[in-house]
């Protein structure tokens, strides 16, 4: 699901701040300001967002953000080695856990994706080295002015989806892959009027860290 839309104005510390329209509510605003669109090269963080984007399918992103702490507890802080070893008893406990989306297919996909993730790490040295190939290892800088300009998927997300599926990953359709690309900063899809759009463009030009504060804890 693509979550970019026109900006709106918010009073914040006596200043007018423009944000993407979906950034409403405390969790969404924090996620928008500190994490969404920031280039990520940390394998555990990439694995976390890959699983969360798959879990989000058919639901709102706000639902996933509200359950994010529960997911981190339930999935061993997204340690792929541990998740890959989950057995039937662990699945049963997950299906009874109200802190996550209790969908058998999504839980099974998370376990399978952990196994495929580890195989990619073994082949490429890191998942980061593999996944960033789909954008030439540099963030794509878009200049969207309105929601109608934002595609649900792109040629890059199509290629990523096809290759991930070939490697055994589940819940990695092109739309999910594009949302993952937006979340991990592979593309800058903040709209032009949003204050984060220019911050991330500037960070990409100077090759300085763009993350304001870690939210992956």
Catalytic residue annotation: 31, 53, 61
Instruction: Mark 65-91 as b/e (b = at least 16 C-beta within 10 Å).
Output: bebbeebbebbeebebeebbebeeebe
CB 32 within 8 A of CB 196: yes
Count the neighbouring beta carbons within 10 Å of the beta carbon of residue 41: 15
Residue 187 sits at φ, ψ, to 5 deg, of -130, 145
Please report, for residues 135, 159, 162, 188, 198, the alpha-carbon distance to residue 155 in angstroms, rounded to integers and kept in the order given.
Answer: 10, 6, 11, 16, 24
Q: Please give the angle made by the CA atoms of 164, 168 and 171, to the nearest 5 degrees.
A: 65
């Amino acid at each position: 699901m693509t979550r970019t839309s026109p900006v709106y104005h918010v009073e914040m510390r006596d200043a007018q701040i423009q944000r993407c329209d979906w950034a409403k509510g405390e969790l969404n605003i924090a996620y928008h300001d500190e994490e969404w669109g920031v280039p990520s090269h940390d394998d555990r963080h990439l694995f976390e967002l890959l699983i969360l984007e798959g879990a989000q399918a058919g639901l709102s992103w706000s639902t996933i953000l509200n359950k994010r702490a529960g997911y981190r507890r339930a999935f061993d802080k997204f340690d792929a080695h541990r998740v890959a070893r989950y057995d039937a008893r662990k699945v049963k406990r997950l299906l009874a856990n109200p802190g996550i989306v209790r969908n058998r297919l999504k839980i099974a996909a998370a376990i399978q994706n952990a196994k495929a993730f580890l195989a990619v790490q073994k082949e490429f040295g890191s998942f980061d080295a593999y996944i960033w190939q789909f954008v030439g290892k540099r963030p794509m800088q878009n200049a969207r002015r309105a929601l109608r300009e934002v595609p649900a998927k792109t040629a890059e997300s199509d290629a990523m989806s096809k290759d991930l599926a070939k490697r055994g990953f589940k819940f990695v359709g092109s739309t999910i892959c594009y949302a993952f690309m937006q979340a991990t900063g592979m593309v800058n899809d903040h709209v032009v009027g949003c204050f984060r759009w220019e911050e991330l463009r500037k960070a990409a030009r100077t090759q300085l860290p763009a993350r304001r504060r870690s939210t992956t804890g």
